[in-house]
Structure 1
Amino acid sequence: MSSKALVPEAKQGLNTFKNEVAREIGVPFSDYNGDLSSRQCGSVGGEMVKRMVEQYESSL
C-alpha cells in the first residue's frame, strides 16, 4: 500500500479540518503531537469521519 495522496491539493484542507475538530473537542494539536495518547488522536480522526459521513448523507 502506498502512502501517496490521491488528491495532494486536499492536504491543507484536511489539516485545517483536523485542527478545527481537535480544537472543538479539546485535544491540543500542534506541530508535534508525540505527547498525545492514541485515544486523543483517534477521537479526532473518528470525529472527522463522523462529520464527513454526515455531510455526505445530507447531500444525498
Structure 2
Amino acid sequence: MSRSRQVVNPAAEQALDRLKEETAAELGLQDYGNRYKGAITSADNGRVGGHMVRKMIESYENTLSSGTTK
C-alpha cells in the first residue's frame, strides 16, 4: 500500500503545520519544525503524529456534540 504525503485540502496545510508544532512542543520536542527530521527518533515522530490524530478526533467529536457539522 503506497502512502500519499499530499494534503487533501491544500488550504489546511498551514493549520496542520501549526498543529504539528503545537503538539511537538506539548511533548517536549523543542524546535521541531526547524530540525532535520532524520535526527529525531521514529518513536518521537510517531508520538507527534499519534497525538495530532487524537486532537483532530477530539475536535471533530466536539463539533458533532455541538451539532454544528456541515
| Structure 1, gaps ≥5 residues long | none
* Corresponding position of 1:30: 33
| Structure 2, gaps ≥5 residues long | 65-70
How far off is 1:27 after superposition? 1.7
Instruction: Give the partner amino acid of 2:8.
Output: L
Residue identity over aligned pairs, in percent, reads 40
Mark the structure with the bigger radius of gyration: 2
- CA, structure 1 residues 38+5, in 2 after alignment: closer, same or farther (shift >3 Å)? same
* Corresponding position of 1:11: 13
Compare relative contact order (CA 8 Å, sep 6+) and give the higher one, 1 or 2.
1
1:14-50 Cα shifts (integer Å, max 9, x gaps): 0011001100111231332211011000000000000
Instruction: Give the partner amino acid of 1:53.
Output: I
TM-score under structure 1 length normalisation? 0.84
CA distance in 2, matches of 1:23, 1:34: 18
Root mean square deviation, CA, Å: 1.5
